[in-house]
Amino acid sequence: MNKRDLRGAYHKADFDYKMSNIFIFEYTVIVPIIVGLFFKSWYAGIWSFLILIVIAPIKIVGLFLAVVFTIMWVFVGWSIGYSIDGLHARILGALISFVIGFGVHASALAYLLDFLGSD
Residues in the chain: 119
pLDDT of 56-107, one tens digit each? 767 777 778 878 888 988 998 999 888 888 889 999 999 999 998 888 777 7
pLDDT of residue 16: 66
| Mean pLDDT score, 100-115 | 75
Residue 46 belongs to what domain range? 3-116
Displacement of CA 27 from its chain's centroid (Å) = 7
Long-range CB contacts (within 8 A, 24+) of 94-100: 97/73, 98/70, 98/73, 98/74, 100/73
117: left (phi over 0), alpha (psi -120 to 50) or beta: left
Task: Measure the N-to-C terminal CA separation of the chain; round to a whole number of Å.
Answer: 23
| Mean pLDDT score, 26-50 | 87
Q: Structurally, how many domains does the chain consist of?
A: 1
Query: Who wins on pLDDT, 33 or 24?
Result: 33
pLDDT averaged over every residue in the chain: 81
| Mean pLDDT score, 25-36 | 82
Three-state SS at 98: helix
